A and B are shown apart, each in its own frame.
Chain A
Amino acid sequence: MDLELMVNSFPKLLNATLITLKLLSLSLIFGLFIGLIFAILRLKKNIFLNKFAYGYSYIFRGTPLLVQIFIIYFGLGQIEYLRSTFLWTILKEPYWCAIIAFSLNTGAYTSEILRSAFQTIKPGFIEAGKSLGISNKIIFYKIQIPIAIRQSLPAYGNEIILMMKGTSLASTVTLMDLTGVAKYIISTTFKPIEVFIVAGGIYLFMTFIIHNLIKFLEKKYSF
């Protein structure tokens, strides 16, 4: 055990954790929007919209995240047309490519979580709203969405932890996140176990925080 290396690498790894957290929070925010939109599409009776939303979640959940990042980072640059539009300023940055891939990926999982939450809402809640003369729109925003969010909290907590682990793939497109820096230190010092303990410890600490935060929210919004 090389304790000195562990102590020395800790600040570097902690610094890299900031990038991991940035990637995670931005992807989760965008992913939640995407997930909500696609969950609503899944509930629509229109077959075309429904199939489209189903196809989206099927493709993104059926392929590895690594493929998705590579298609966006390496693949999209190949399209000449894209290079001439303003999109290119975003797509040439590995940072944004990673965020796009993560958001689309977590969006697919979130849409499944929210869809099943919407479907398990008891019809009595909606009927009660209707009989009070509340319009459909307000029933959706004031009754269905809050209940669905509460229902999906445990599953969404798992998704946050999965996504946190997923951000480690940003290191494959040259970003120096926690895993990227850990790999760099390992490959220069050849001390994998020490670095694994420190970096793994940071990840476990984040998992612990997320887990407890979700538990707290579950308790707060239980009914």
Chain B
Amino acid sequence: MDLLAFGKTGWGDELFYATLMTLAVSITAMIIGFFFALIFTPLKLSKNKFLNLIGNSYTTVIRGVPELLVIYLFFFGGSGAIMFVASMFGYNEYIEINAFITGSFAIGIISGAYSTEVFRGAIQSIEKGQFEASKVLGFKKPLQFFKVIMPQMLRLAIPNLSNVWQITLKDTSLISVTGLVEIMRQSYIAAGSTRDPLFFYSFAAVLYLLLTYMSMKLINKLEVKYSKGY
């Protein structure tokens, strides 16, 4: 237990902050993913063949390629891409972007592909009559979406979004390869300096289990709240 003491003698506080970091990256990635889903879901549902192709390639490529490969692309390519854009504005110094931003972005794009699929499924399972009824009542498109479609869509999407959240949470462990100090990286450091990998990696597993367990409890509550009318 000495190994987990807080302060200078143990790894308790380091692991605590690392857990917060994992949570922060997961939440940021999930929000970035929602933005991507907001852009790509309409594309996937659109009748225009070209827009449809863009939407489909996003979800197909991201869901068919390993997460680790996507992270390497961002880790090695991220600052290059930013520097390329900056050079167009006449800025030629070296720019290094921080691991938190690259990591959340990489995981966010992955999580966005899964969220897109969830939203698409949810919208498609809303009855056609709902669209028609709101049209007949003279709702404009944005109003129709926010007042009629979205509330119903969210209810249908919550169970599947909880799966996306679990995937996202577990995917953040892969960012440790870029050096961001979250649970896995901190365990790696602790295991290296104490020569006790079995304990620290098992403890990391416990931390992840705790995170998934607690988020499941929370999401179940949300689910009950949103399905009140049914």
Residues of A within 8 A of B (CB): 58-59, 62-68, 70-71, 74-79, 161, 164-169, 171-172, 179, 182-183, 186-187, 190, 192-193, 196, 199-200, 203-204, 207-208
Cα A51 to Cα B212 in complex, Å, equals 19
29 contacting pairs across A/B (C-beta < 8 A): A58-B209, A59-B209, A62-B166, A62-B208, A62-B213, A64-B170, A64-B173, A64-B174, A67-B201, A67-B208, A70-B197, A71-B205, A74-B197, A75-B197, A75-B202, A78-B196, A78-B197, A164-B66, A166-B66, A168-B66, A168-B69, A169-B174, A179-B72, A182-B69, A183-B72, A192-B77, A196-B73, A200-B65, A204-B65
Cα A150 to Cα B202 in complex, Å, equals 37
Q: Report B-chain residues with C-beta under 8 Å of the C-beta of A78.
A: 195-198
Q: Report B-chain residues with C-beta under 8 Å of the C-beta of A183.
A: 72
Name, among A58, A77, A164, A183, the residue most crowded by chain B CB atoms within 10 Å (CB to CB): A183
Q: Report B-chain residues with C-beta under 8 Å of the C-beta of A63.
A: 170, 205, 208-209, 212
Residues 180-202 of chain B, each 1 if its beta carbon lies under 8 Å from chain A, else 0: 00001001100100011110011
Q: A192-B77, A200-B61 are in contact. Are A75 and B69 (CB under 8 A)?
A: no
Which residue of B63, B73, B184, B191 contacts A66 across the interface (Cβ within 8 Å)?
B184
Q: Report B-chain residues with C-beta under 8 Å of the C-beta of A76.
A: 198
- The reply to whether B64 and A207 form a contact with Cβ atoms under 8 Å apart is yes
With CB as the reference atom, state the residue of chain B lying closest to A199: B69
- The reply to whether A192 and B65 form a contact with Cβ atoms under 8 Å apart is no
* Smallest CB-CB A-B distances: 4 pairs: A168-B66, A75-B198, A192-B77, A64-B173
Cα A68 to Cα B208 in complex, Å, equals 11
Q: A74-B191, A168-B66, A207-B64 are in contact. Are A62 and B212 (CB under 8 A)?
A: yes
- The reply to whether B201 and A75 form a contact with Cβ atoms under 8 Å apart is yes
Q: Report B-chain residues with C-beta under 8 Å of the C-beta of A199.
A: 69
How far apart are B156's CB and chain A's nearest CB, in angstroms? 20
Asked if B162 lies at the interface with its beta carbon under 8 angstroms from chain A, I say no
Asked if B76 lies at the interface with its beta carbon under 8 angstroms from chain A, I say yes
Q: Report A-chain residues with C-beta under 8 Å of the C-beta of B28.
A: none
Q: Which of B67-88 contact A (CB under 8 A)?
A: 67-69, 72-73, 76-77, 80
- The reply to whether B197 and A204 form a contact with Cβ atoms under 8 Å apart is no
Q: Report A-chain residues with C-beta under 8 Å of the C-beta of B65.
A: 165, 200, 203-204
How far apart are B193's CB and chain A's nearest CB, in angstroms? 13
How far apart are B82's CB and chain A's nearest CB, in angstroms? 13
Asked if B204 lies at the interface with its beta carbon under 8 angstroms from chain A, I say yes
Asked if B9 lies at the interface with its beta carbon under 8 angstroms from chain A, I say no
- The reply to whether A192 and B184 form a contact with Cβ atoms under 8 Å apart is no
B interface bracket (residues with beta carbon within 8 Å of A): 35 or more
Q: A64-B170, A78-B196, A192-B76 are in contact. Are A168 and B208 (CB under 8 A)?
A: no
With CB as the reference atom, state the residue of chain A lying closest to B208: A63
With CB as the reference atom, state the residue of chain B lying closest to A75: B198
- The reply to whether B72 and A186 form a contact with Cβ atoms under 8 Å apart is yes
With CB as the reference atom, state the residue of chain A lying closest to B68: A168
Name, among B80, B198, B213, the residue most crowded by chain A CB atoms within 10 Å (CB to CB): B198
Q: Report A-chain residues with C-beta under 8 Å of the C-beta of B72.
A: 179, 182-183, 186, 192, 196
Cα A58 to Cα B197 in complex, Å, equals 22
Cα A186 to Cα B197 in complex, Å, equals 29
How far apart are A192's CB and chain B's nearest CB, in angstroms? 4
Which residue of A67, A192, A203 contacts B66 across the interface (Cβ within 8 Å)?
A203
Which residue of B64, B73, B77 contacts A203 across the interface (Cβ within 8 Å)?
B64
Q: Report A-chain residues with C-beta under 8 Å of the C-beta of B76.
A: 186-187, 190, 192
Q: Report A-chain residues with C-beta under 8 Å of the C-beta of B208.
A: 62-64, 67
Residues 214-228 of chain B, each 1 if its beta carbon lies under 8 Å from chain A, else 0: 000000000000000
Asked if B48 lies at the interface with its beta carbon under 8 angstroms from chain A, I say no
